[in-house]
Structures are given as structure tokens and as C-alpha cells.
Amino acid sequence: MQHSIKDDYINSLKNYTNQFKDTNFRRIACNDFKSWPGPREETWRLSRLGSLSRKKIKPINPNFKKNNTNTSKLNGSTIIQFIDGAFREDLSSDMPSGVNLSILGDSESLEYLQKIKKSNLSNHPSTNASLSCTPSIMKLTVTKDTKVKDFFEIIYEGGENSQSVHPVLYIELKENSSLYLIERFNHLTSLAMPLQLTELRNKASLNSIKIFNDYKETHNLSANCAYLSEKSNLNSFSLIKGGIFTRSETHAYLNGCGAKLNLNGIYISGNKQHHDLTTAIYHDVSDCTSKQIVRGVLGGKSTGVFQGKVKVAKHAQRTDGQQMSRAILLSDSASANAKPELEIYADDVICAHGATVGELDDDQLFYLNSRGVPMNKAREILIKAFLEDIINQSVDKSLHNFVFKEAELALSSILTKEKSYNETL
Amino acid sequence: MNKNNITNPLERRRVQFGYSQNDISKLLGITQSQYSRIEKGISDPNKHLKKLSDIFNCMPNEVFQGEILREIENDFINDPKNSFQRLFHKRKSGYVHLNIQGWFTKKQVINNYKMLINELEDWKVNEYGIRWKWLTMDEPNWAMVNFPKIDFQDIYYYSAPKTKPKLNSLDEVDPELLKTYEKLGIPIKEQEVLAGVAVDYVFDSVSVATTFRDKLADEGIIFCPISEAVQNYPDLVKKYIGSVIPIGDNYYAALNSAVFTDGSFVYVPKGVKCPMELSTYFRINEQNSGQFERTLIIVEDNAYVSYLEGCTAPQRDENQLHAAVVELVAMDDAEIKYSTVQNWYPGDKDGKGGIYNFVTKRGNCLGKRSKISWTQVETGSAITWKYPSCVLRGDNSVGEFYSVAVANNAQQADTGTKMIHIGNNTKSTIISKGISAGKAQNTYRGQVQIQKNAKGSRNFTQCDSLLIGDQCGAHTVPYINQHTPSARVEHEATTSKISEDQLFYCLQRGLDTEQATSLIVNGFCKEVMKELPMEFAVEAQKLIGISLEGSVG
């Protein structure tokens, strides 16, 4: 039975793409969607899509009349609004000078597809499904030497039960430009498959914050691919807290000497949530730096996964690759998996990774306890400190409060649920 | 099910060969229910008769007759050694020729093979219940190693040394063999005298000599070839063999279960601390033959044993397969220390020849407060595929894994460990040092799994890699699966090369580059080396020096 339902999604993809005749990239992508990745595929072993493939899901037909957005915007930011996976010009702000937002034509879309297919994301389900069903591929370009001062806020909303949304984005930062981007995923749908390709030209700098806060029954399979040229700089921070199943997969290719990459992330999971942060960093040339710090807090029956791969190619000498992942388990039924992987073919490198999984440190708890802080409060303080540390490192100062509040919201719901557990201790 | 009660001839034959319906249906390429109908006589078997006769090693018209061809069986039983020679005249086609019956396929080699040797085989089939699981499995391909596909039809599954296989003491061993040892720098006699080591020598497929047996027997310790243990202590062997590593555990373990003929067996009774180091030397002499030995060590409550394993093989242009299985069982308060210095022939500079070392090793900490410690120095083999693991079942049990893996030239090593924490307060330590030089690839692959009830468990993992030269690779693939909050898992890994400062310091003090490298490498491995027994540590240190020769400059 399961088998036929799996085919079901492929068929609905095919039906959907039949609407668009003569669009090569959709046809190619649709043909490449073979099936959902099974547990036998190494990168999906820890994150299984069984429950998803048993659901009946169809690609959404975007409704351009919807305009009820519930996400409260940040002050003074430039808004780019997606509803049902489609860009909504009427709800978005005007672009400042030096920034262009456009829809890719068919031939450019084909190029886009080829660029994604070159990466290791070529078989990711989001790649193929989203490219075949997206309403349009949006391209955000920052022209040469433009330093954008305001924050850019991309808000993804909409979607309905049993439907899948497919926002596809192409971000290009030309030479010597910079941008600060905040992406917020607030989908109400069963399945969200955002796909993003980022290209940073020489000396470009992109700061990006992704907040995954989808509806509690949403599967979010986000796929990101980034190409970094010489001396470019990418600072990425992801906060995963929503959805029943969220997997943020990022593949970063360091193609220019002196490129710098920070890929930090936090996952806060409760109930039966499954959160997965998968990254792969490819050091293809010399003198690049990559850093990764990942923290997880897990309560309820949740599971957390961190898979990080650093691959250093043969001639990528003087590479510095650091990776650190820590997870804290708050409940008996939570579990954490980590797979930090190093694959190194060059000798003059400094690569290290560390991973720990455990509970809060007894000594620290005792310290606070002995100073009159009750156990619950002490735990809260320690967990917040555990997260605040990394937020401070990876987020602009003016956004500290905003990001921290988002984290706190998720945290408080877990902590109240774990309260009874704490008291029994 | 009592196999004597089966009246259906085909089913009887199937059970006799240790197959399940599923296995057979897989081999025939049909579904199980289809096969079941054939067996019951509902479906027409004609289409599959040829294959069935292949599988059951008989003429097509005999498939539905109950008994295996008596004639062959008797021949094997009456004169096993010679019939063996008759069987294994290898031909260029890769098939094995049996005078009596004609050409044999891989399946048939295995099937015949079981009738060949001695009671061990009967026992393996009848009591141990080996099904030829191996034939129904696929070769694993997840390890980061590359090698041409092994032609399993082109391997001798059994070869006995030309000397008399069972000897009472070392003096009776062919002096030629002793010479080979000495050439390899393993002066057995000297070791015996100085360290009082009891040694079991396994040459090719047969255990040739075991020393100090009487002395050990006084203490109640059993140390003998496993082929003897099967005859003399069948209950013990039966109880534990396959309990740690089931037959179908993985492809190579299944192969070993199907074809193993010898190996070592150690049993240490309650409360006995084994007074000397037990040791086995494995050696592959014969060209084209694979070695499939099996080691089983059982240590009862409060007992202790330290076991050393050394491996060598002469230079050959062809790749040879070594697929061993080692099972350890530790009861309450018992301790097992298992050390390996592996020096199989690694192949020449361009990667021609060398041993494929595909070994499954696993220890079961069954009792409370038991401890199993693996120490390994891996310098040889063209390809190493080896994950000595601990299943920490008893509360408060301890697992340790110390490893140095050196890969030079075209060697490939994919090695590591698994620590499965099941009992409360179990602890494990993993220290892994990987050194790659030349064009070698060295991978650490390890898993730490803390199961739900393993409260208060701890794990510490450290894996460091050292790169010498810019053609080699060092990879780390750890898996952490944590299911209980009160446990703590820590993992750290670094990769670096020998720093210029360290080299400069040594050179300044008059060492040449090679000496300096060797010195630094030995320093890098010190944490592991100190876990090795004395006499092994010296040998291991030398080995590392030798295997890194020519990697600098």
C-alpha cells in the first residue's frame, strides 16, 4: 500500500508539471524525482520520511488573493513576502536602489537547475520537487559595491493541509556587496520544500538568519546551496523550532581563496518533533576558513540530528575547519544523534571537531542551587546561557533580542512540560 | 523441529543443508511461497531442477530423493585429507575441480566443503546450525575503501600446511617454519622463555602447535585449537559460539561462519587469573588461499586473561583474503585484554598484492563490572576493514578501544569501533590514532550508542589523525546515538600534519628527517602503545618505524 502512495506524489508532481508546457527545467526536475529517500540512504538514515510518504500530498496551486499575513515584521526592514510558495509583490516592500528582485525566465531557470545539479543536492527531494512545481524562481541580486544597510526580511507563509509549497530563491551578491537577510518560515502546510541557491562573488558578504517556525504538523525539507568566491564571507545562523519534522540541509562550496564561512545553528525540540541540521562544507581551494557551532536542546519525545561533513580537497592547503556540536537532553524519551564527519585529502590543514551529548552539568546546577535559585529556575538559566552564547556570536547586536525571544518562546513550552520531570528528580 | 521426522524429501534435504525456505527461494530467484509450493509438490519443479541440484550438490534426478550421494560422503569421511586434494585442483576458469563430480560453482564449493573435513564440519552444520547465509547476502560497500571485486570462486577455502598438522610440542614443528618466524623478528623460543608466553600457531587453515598447554591446564585454563575444543568441550563451544556475532551479522562474518576450520579457543574458569600472556600467531603461507579463523574467548567470573594476536603473511602478487571472526565473552568482574599487532603483507608501492583484512571482532561484557579492552596496532594489509566492538550489557561494565592505524603507500584502512551501552553506568573510552603517508587513505569509523536504559553511562572518544605528505587522506566518521539524558558522550577529533616546529627541533639536535618523523609518530601514538604488553610494544614500535620507511622526503 505504502508503495502506491509514494507513487502518488510522483504522479501528482507529473500532473502538476503538465500545466506548464515547453518548460524544460520543470520536465527535467520532475523526471529526476524518483521516490522519497529511504532509510538505506546514508544521509537520510537518521531522519526518516516514512510518515511523510504515507500522507497524501499534492503540490499547491497558489492563491493570489490571500493576504492575511500573521507574522509581525521587524521595524524598518525591507519585506519580501511569499504566500503559498509564490512571491507577492503587492505585500512586499519596494526594493531599495542597488537591489533587484526579478522572476527568472525559462532559459535562466534551466541554468539555475544546472547549477544546483552540479552540487550534491542534485538528488535531494526538495530540489526536484520544488523545481518542478515552483510558481516561479525569484532572483534577488545585489549589485556591485552596494552595501545594503536595512535588514531584508523574507517571510514564507500560507499553504494548506495535504499540500506542498515550493518557494525557490536565487540570491546573488555581486562583487564587494553586502546584505543582511532574515528568513522566517511560518508555513501552515503539510510539506514545505524551500530551495535556495546563493552565490557570493569576490569580497561579497552575506549575513543570513533562518528561523524555522512552521505549523506543528509541517514537514520542512529545506535545501540550500551556497557557492563562495574569493574573500567572500557567509555568516549563516539557523534556529529550528517549529514543525513536526524540520531538516535544514546546507551545502557550501568554498571555491575562492580566502573565503570564510560560519554555519551556526540551534535546534529546540519538544513533543514528538524531529529536527535535523545537516551541513556539508567543501573546501575546494586553499586558505579558506569554516566554522560551525551547533547547539540543541531536546525535551519530550523529540529527536535531534546533527550531521556535519567537512571535505578538504587535495590542494586545499592551509584550511581551517572547525566544528562543534553540543546537545542537551532534558527528558528520558528524547534522543540526540550526531555524525560529525571529516574527509581530508590535504596535509597542511587544521581540522577539528567535537561533539558532546549529555544533560546539564550537575556542578553548575548545584552552584546555582546553593545560592538559593530553585532547581527549575537554575535549569532555565543554564539552558538560556547555553543558547545565548552562540546567538551573541552569530547574530547582529540589534537582532539579539528578537532572536533570543524566538528561542525563548520555544524553550518555555518545553520547560513547562519538563517541569514535572524535574520535580521528580 | 526434529529433522528425522521430516518425510518430504526436498524439505529434508533443505534442512540437512541448513537452508531456510527463504534462503532457497532467494537463490532460485522466486518468492518463498512459490518455493513452498514446489516443496509441497503442488507446483511443477522442473524449471528449477537444475538450480536445485546445484544447490544441493546432486544430480537433478536426485533432488527429490532423500539422501545425499552416499558415495561421495563416504569417500570424504574415510579419507578426508586426500579427497581434499582431489577436490581443490584449481583450474584457470576459477572453478574448482572435483574428480568425482565434475565442475563446481561457488555454491557447490561451500556445500561440498562441509562434508569435507571432519567432525567440526558436521558439527557446524548440525549443531551450530550454520545456514549458508553468506550466499544470500550482499557485499557491503559503505566503507571508504576501493578494491576490485573479489572473485570468491577463485579462493582456496582450505589449505593445510605440508607438515603434520597436530604436534605435541614446538620441537616437532618444521624447522623451516621456525626459521620463517625468526626472519620476521618473532623469536618464539626467546619469547617463551623470557615472557612465558603460551602460543597457538595457526598456519593457513590449521592450528599447528600450542605451547604451555599442560601448565595452563593445571590452572583449569583451556587453550587449544577450536577444532579440538569442538570435540573435547562441545557444550562450552556450543553455548557461546555465535552468541556475540551471529552467523548473518555481516557479509564477511557469514563467510567465516560458513568456511572456518580452525582458530583458537580460550576458557578461563572462575576466579583464575591467567598467569601468562596467551598468544596466537596467524600466518598465510599458501598462495591463493584465504584465511578464515575463528577465535572464541570465554572468561568466567572474577577471572582475567590477556591475549595477544599477531599476523603475518609472505609477499605475494595476488590479493589474499583474511576474514576472521573473534568473539569475547566476559562474565561478572571478568577482564579480557585483547591486543593485536597486525602485520599482514601490505602490497608493494603501487598497491599490487597484499592482504584484504576483513575482520569482525566483538566482545560481550555480559557480567556486571566486566571489562573488555581492545588494543590494536595496524600496520599491514592492503585493505583493513575492522571494527573491534564492545557490547556493554552488564551494569558498570567497561569497554576500551585503543588503536594505532598506520597506512603507507597504497594501503587503505577503514577501522574503528562500536560501543553499545546497554547496562547502567557503563563506561567506554576510545582512543584512535590514524597515520597516513604516501597515497594511503585512513578512515576512523566509529559508533557510540547509548540505549534508553543505560543510565549514567559515559563515553569519551578521541581520534587524531596525522598526515605525512600531500597525497594521502585522513577521514573521520563518528556516529553518536544518545537516548538517555543522564549519560554523557564526548567526542573530539583533530587532523593535522607534523608541525615544522617539531621537525626543526629534532633536526637541530642531529636527527635526520626519517628518524625525527619516526620519533614524532611514536610520540603521537604513545597513549595507545602504553596499553600494549611490554614485549609487544617494542615490536609494534619497530613496526611503525618500518612501515613508514620511505614516506619522508
Kindly list the distances between the CA atom of residue B471 and the CA atoms of B328, B410, B467, in Å, as whole numbers in the listed order. 38, 10, 9
Taking only the tens place, the pLDDT of each residue in B448-476 is: 999 988 888 999 999 889 888 888 888 99
pLDDT value for B373: 92
CA distance A354 to A322: 9
| pLDDT band at residue A227 using 50, 70 and 90 as cut-offs | very high
Integer angstrom CA distances of residue B229 from B151, B226, B280:
32, 5, 16
Interface size A-B, in CB pairs within 8 Å, comes to 115
Q: How far apart are CA A348 and CA A312, in angstroms?
A: 10
> Smallest CA–CA separation between A150 and chain B, in Å?
40
Subunit contact B476:A349, Cβ cutoff 8 A: no
When pLDDT is cut at 50, 70 and 90, the band that residue A277 belongs to is very high
CA-closest candidate to residue B487, choices B462, B461, B459: B459
- The three-class DSSP label of residue B413 is strand
**Lowest mean pLDDT, pick from A121-130, A190-199, A346-355, B10-19:** B10-19
**Per the CB < 8 Å rule, is B492 touching A352?**
yes
pLDDT at B88: 36
For residue B534, is it within any domain?
Answer: no
| pLDDT at position A203 | 92
pLDDT at A38: 80
Q: For residue A403, report the phi and psi dihedrals to the nearest 5 degrees.
A: -65, -40
Searching chain A, which residue's CA lies closest to the CA of residue B469? A347
Q: Does B487 touch chain A (CB under 8 A)?
A: yes
Kindly write down the DSSP assignment for every residue of B223-272, as one continuous string.
EEEHHHHHHH-HHHHHHHTTTSS-TTSSHHHHHHHHH--EEEEEEE-TT-
Q: List beta partners, residue B281.
A: B201, B310
Q: What's the DSSP call for residue B105?
A: -
CA-CA-CA-CA torsion for A46, A52, A54, A58, nearest 10 degrees?
-150
Task: Report the alpha-carbon angle B168-B205-B389, nearest 5.
Answer: 105
C-alpha distances in angstroms, A62 versus A83, A84, A215, B440? 7, 5, 18, 54
Please give the order of strands across the beta sheet that includes B102-104. B89-90, B96-98, B102-104
Beta strands in B409-472 (DSSP E): 412-415, 418-421, 427-437, 441-450, 458-468
- And the C-alpha cell for A140? 534577488
A136-156: per-residue pLDDT in tens?
Answer: 889 999 998 888 888 899 999
The number of residues in chain A equals: 425
* Residues of chain B neighbouring A359 (CB-CB closer than 8 A): 485-486, 488
What is the distance in angstroms between the Cα of A146 and the nearest Cα belonging to chain B? 39
Say whether A341 and B493 touch across the interface (CB within 8 A). Answer: no
Tell me whether B474 touches chain A (CB under 8 Å): yes
Q: Is the pLDDT of residue A80 over 60?
A: yes
DSSP string, A60-72: ----TT-----PP
Indicate the pLDDT class of residue A311, thresholds 50, 70 and 90: very high
DSSP state for residue B156 in the 8-state scheme: B
* Domains: count for chain B: 2
Cβ separation of B494 and A352 shorter than 8 Å? yes
pLDDT tens for residues A330-360?
Answer: 888 889 999 998 899 888 888 888 888 888 8
Stretch 113-142 of chain B: residues touching chain A, C-beta under 8 Å: 142
Banded model confidence at residue A6, pLDDT cuts 50, 70, 90:
low
Q: Return the higher-pLDDT residue of A36 and B427.
A: B427
* Residues of chain B found within 8 Å of residue A336, distances taken between Cβ atoms: 480, 482
Mind telling me how many Å the CA of B409 is from chain A's nearest CA? 14
- DSSP-assigned beta bridge partners for residue A264: A237
Same domain, B121 and B207: no
| Shortest Cα distance, chain B CAs vs residue A349, angstroms | 6
Q: Does A145 touch chain B (CB under 8 A)?
A: no
Which residues are registered as beta bridge partners of B338? Answer: B307, B374
pTM of the model: 0.78
Which pLDDT band, with edges at 50, 70 and 90, does A183 fall under? very high
What is the C-alpha separation between B282 and B204, in angstroms, rounded? 8
CA distance A292 to A294: 6
**Which residue ranges in chain B fall short of pLDDT 50?**
1, 3, 66-77, 79-119, 131, 161-168, 184, 187, 189-197, 553
Q: Which residues contact B495 (CB under 8 A, 6 or more apart)?
A: A342, A344, A349, A350, A351, A352, B464, B465, B466, B467, B474, B476
Same domain, yes or no: B135 and B203:
no
Residue B421, min C-alpha distance to chain A (Å): 14
- Region label for A105, one of left (φ > 0), alpha (ψ between -120 and 50) or beta (otherwise): beta
Is a pLDDT exceeding 50 seen at residue A399?
yes
B121 domain residue, yes or no: yes
Backbone Cα Rg of chain B: 24
pLDDT band of residue A52 (cuts 50, 70, 90) is confident
Higher pLDDT among residues A20 and B89, named by residue: A20
Is B489 in contact with A358 (Cβ distance < 8 A)? yes
- Give bridge partners of residue A142 from the DSSP assignment: A99, A173
Residues B553, B550: Cα–Cα separation, whole Å: 7
Residue B316 amino acid letter: R
Residues B210 and B92 in one domain: no
Strands (E), A213-360: 219-228, 233-240, 245-254, 260-269, 274-283, 289-298, 303-312, 319-329, 335-344, 349-358
Are residues A342 and B476, on separate chains, in Cβ contact within 8 Å? yes
Interface with chain B: mutation pick from A314, A329, A332, A342, highest number of B CBs within 10 Å: A342
Domain boundaries, position B227: 197-498
Q: For residues A31 and A93, give the distance between their C-alpha atoms in angstroms, rounded to a whole number.
A: 36
Specify the pLDDT at position B104. 36
Determine the pLDDT at residue B551. 65
Distance CA B104, CA B87 (A): 9
A352·B493 Cβ contact <8 A = yes
**The complex's ipTM?**
0.81
Residue B305 C-alpha cell reads as 586473561
Q: What is the mean pLDDT of chain A?
A: 86
